[in-house]
Structure 1
Amino acid sequence: MRNVRTLLMVLVAALAGLAAVVMASRWMVQQSAGTTTKVAVATADINLGQRLAPEFVKLVDWPRESLPPGAMTDIATVDGRVTKASVMRGEPILESKLTPAGTKGGLSAVIAEGKRAITVRVNDVVGVAGFALPGSFVDIIVNTQKDTGRTDAGQPEQSISKIVLEKILVLAVAQEVNRDETKPKVVNAVTLEVSPVEAEKLDLARSVGSLSLVLRNQVDPRPVDTAGATKRSLLNEPVLQAATPAPVVRVVQAVQRIAEKKLTGQCVGVISGMQQNQECF
């Protein structure tokens, strides 16, 4: 009888413990369901300008307290959109990283409104040794002949190097637009994002001289205003002063003096036959 009572107590305790576990589990599920939401995240690394497809995105539970602004909660709203920034695997798909609905993929999708894309040819030196990567900013230097319309000391005007464009965004190097890589890439062409006016200046600059890229700090907004560098300023040579032409007034005064001397000189009358002349000395 005592064994039966003990066994009954153990059975009741086990049932009570099981019920407590079930109730606690349900409470935790309810609590977690109220504090999380479904968020679309990338299932693989997605490059800039790539069109999204359902296989690139999945829904996962995300805490409501740390939900990033603009997070997408429905895969249907993400399908067919184009990224204007790279997205890493497991990163939430944000509206700020997507182009407007209906935009086609490719480089044209990432060009800012009012801007244009232009490609310039570079080499391993001009391209800042491959460190001019997509997303970085560069200045453009042109080396050309300074057009002054005159010569100094019989020598033609020297060439000049000058910064003509500042803080130009690099959109792509060769055919790659991925902005997440930091490894240098030596390429033969760089695509830059410029305004229409800057595009005209850049096109003229590459036709009148050679171009070089100057890598600059991404957070440095200060413009510069230089006079350009010439061979004379580089070697710190003195500027030759051109000879000053003689004033015209001196020549006029000399002519007047000669004329006055002739008029005030001695004159002699000369008679030749029936003709009479006057000769002045």
Structure 2
Amino acid sequence: MKNSRALIMLAMAMVAGLAAVVFASKWLIHTSSSAVTPVAVAIDDVNLGQPLNTNLVRTVNWPTGSVPPGSFTDTKSLEGRVVRTSLARGEPVLESKLAPIGTKGGLSAVIDKGDRAITVRVNDVVGVAGFALPGNYVDVIVNTQAPGGNDQQSISKIVLERILVLAVAQQVSRDDTQPKVVNAVTLQVSPEQAEKLDLARSVGTLSLVLRNQIDGDKLKTAGATKLTLLGAPPAPPPAPAKPARVHYAAGKPPVKRDCVGVLSGVAGSLECF
């Protein structure tokens, strides 16, 4: 009798324990599933201007409380979208990093609305020894002849400030920091800046000046000329004063006159004129 009661109590304890395990596992599964959200991330590195497809992105479980704003939960909604900035492997795909819907791939996808892209020819000196890379900012200097008639002189003047480098040669990636000496640089400019840059390269030679990426100050300069570079030449010494000439009035020569004798009766006279 006592053994049967012990067996019954043991069986009830085992059933209660099994039920507790089942309910606990269900609760943990429900809690864990509700604490994560699927987020689309890049499978591999994605270059700037590259269209996305299902082979480049996948979804991973992300803690619900730390899901990045603008993320995507479905990879199909990213089909054909073009990235405006490079994506690293495992990085979430955000709306702020994508070009507008309908944008085709390529460099045009990364140009800001209202701006233009223009390419200028450079060399190892003009291109800052290859350190002007995509994503950097440069100033543009033109060296030309200052207007001023026949006595023109050379002048170097900053004509454009804080211009974004979109590409060097055919490279648009902004992740590479190694300098590259190229013969062409593509810049992002406004329409007015594009006109100035096109005129500047036709009237003189261009140079690019690399600037700090977080430096947004714009300074007005008068330009550098030979006079400002070397200083004004010393004034020539005054010429010695010449003695004044004294003019002496010479005696007037006698005026020659013609005379005629006039006889009137027995009287005569001499008329001169």
Normalised to the residue count of structure 1, the TM-score between the two structures is 0.78
Whether 1:57 aligns to 2:60 is no
**Larger proportion of helix:** 1
1:210 alignment partner AA: T
Q: Could you tell me which residue of structure 1 aligns to residue 201 of structure 2?
A: 206
Q: State the Cα deviation string for residues 18-57 of structure 1 (Å, max 9, x = none).
A: 5444433322221122222111111011111101111001
- Looking at structure 1, the residues matched to 137 and 88 of structure 2 have their Cα atoms a distance apart, in angstroms, of 23
- Looking at structure 2, the residues matched to 271 and 70 of structure 1 have their Cα atoms a distance apart, in angstroms, of 123
Q: State the Cα deviation string for residues 47-94 of structure 1 (Å, max 9, x = none).
A: 111011110011111112111111111112100111111111111111
User: How many matched pairs?
Assistant: 248
Q: State the Cα deviation string for residues 121-179 of structure 1 (Å, max 9, x = none).
A: 1112211122111111110011112221132xxxxx43211100001011111111111
- Looking at structure 1, the residues matched to 23 and 196 of structure 2 have their Cα atoms a distance apart, in angstroms, of 73
- Looking at structure 1, the residues matched to 228 and 16 of structure 2 have their Cα atoms a distance apart, in angstroms, of 93
Within a 5 Å distance, the mapping from 1:83-232 to structure 2 comes to 83-151=83-151, 157-232=152-227
Q: Could you tell me which residue of structure 2 aligns to residue 39 of structure 1?
A: 39
- Looking at structure 2, the residues matched to 77 and 158 of structure 1 have their Cα atoms a distance apart, in angstroms, of 61
Comparing 109-118 and 21-30, the one that deviates more: 21-30
| Structure 2 stretches lacking a partner, 5+ long | 239-251, 261-272
Normalised to the residue count of structure 2, the TM-score between the two structures is 0.80
Q: 1:124 to 1:23 in 2, by over 3 A?
A: farther
Q: Could you tell me which residue of structure 2 aligns to residue 251 of structure 1?
A: none
Q: 1:98 to 1:13 in 2, by over 3 A?
A: same
- Looking at structure 2, the residues matched to 129 and 22 of structure 1 have their Cα atoms a distance apart, in angstroms, of 69
1:189 alignment partner AA: A
Overall identity of the aligned pairs, in %: 63
Root mean square deviation of aligned Cα: 3.0
Q: 1:175 to 1:5 in 2, by over 3 A?
A: farther
